[in-house]
Amino acid sequence: MENTLLFINQNQDVIQEFLKAMEGKKGPMEIDTADSGLEAAFLLKKKKYKVVVTGLNLPTYDGTKIIEYLNQNYPETVCIVYTWRLEQAHLKLLINERKVFRIFQRPASYLQIYEAILDGFVRYDKKEADALDRRDLEQELKKAAHTLKELREISKDRPWEKEEMIKFLRSLLNVFVHDIESAMPGKEKWQLIRYEKKVLFWLLEQEGNAMESLGDVQRSIYKWFLHPESDQQVEITINSQPGTLEKEFCEKLHFIIWLLLTRFVMISSAYGARVVLIPINKERFRVRVEGVFPEGVWVAAHEDMTTRIMTGVTQDILECFADRFTQSISDERVVYYMEVHSTKWVE
């Protein structure tokens, strides 16, 4: 993909200043301009841009809405803000929630903006490469999930074969790490595979830890993750008791909670987690899992490519086990929402 740039500013003089400053510097860079939010939105629907430089005070459709639209529909596009005035509330919103790459306040050097644009092109290309790596990993995960289901059925009543199968999976996953073609350093690859092993082996071993009720689920999760002396807090709230539940349904609820809290532990040794289970009926629950981390931990962790990939793997797994899965992030808090149905299992 060519280096494409959209420059948005309500002031035509600023647009002309920018275009003049870019003369001789364009190289293989394609520049489009817009002087209103509506015109920018029209261009964004027609064409994909690597970098968007926008002001905030735009007629018809302000700059924060443009950035929000890009975050939702083209998250790989790199956003740069160039504006007259920037208040503290705007700054927090742009950095923490809108994932803005750079912010410049007028008057600023166009050379600095140009250098930020070049950095943005590099960042976009890296995101695109990471996305390709992630798609490859997702395909491998789906294959592994299918194989896992078949192997579990084969080994259900033959514990000696299960032990051999675990050894086989361990070897297989180790070979897979060596064969991955990506920019991930060796240490990061091993972090990723350690997480995938943890998930796969837990699924293989869960028959020995049957969950007969929500009380069993609660006790097991507290045993795994509630350690106040290490600043690891967990609270599980069950909104009304739905009566007797199927064992497999309880095990599925347990796995979903275990999976998310395992991710929390890998991100931070200190955390607060709150789980709310809302029965709709005996066969369907709404589940809300919230994690709160020390200041700066979540944002810093997700600057790391391996952490982002592992979070993506977690989400892919959850989508196999739950309906209507969504994620909400604000400051140092992440909240997962989903619905769990007793008949939906990994296919």
Query: Quick check: 221 and 165 in contact, CB under 8 A?
Result: no
* Residue 240 backbone zone (phi > 0: left; psi -120 to 50: alpha; other: beta): left
* 3 state DSSP class of 34: strand
∠ Cα 254 220 207 (to 5°): 60
How does pLDDT run along the chain (347 residues), one tens digit per residue? 788 999 999 889 999 999 998 887 766 788 999 998 888 888 988 899 999 998 888 877 778 888 888 888 888 888 898 887 665 555 556 655 557 888 888 778 888 888 889 888 888 887 776 666 556 655 665 665 566 566 556 555 555 455 555 554 544 444 444 444 444 555 555 555 556 655 655 555 554 456 788 889 999 999 989 999 989 999 999 887 767 788 878 888 888 898 899 889 888 889 999 999 998 887 788 999 999 999 888 777 777 777 777 777 777 777 777 888 888 877 688 899 999 886 543 33
Q: Fill in the amino acid letter for 155.
A: S
**Amino acid at the residue 151:** L
pTM of the model: 0.47
Assigned token pair, 262: 């395992």
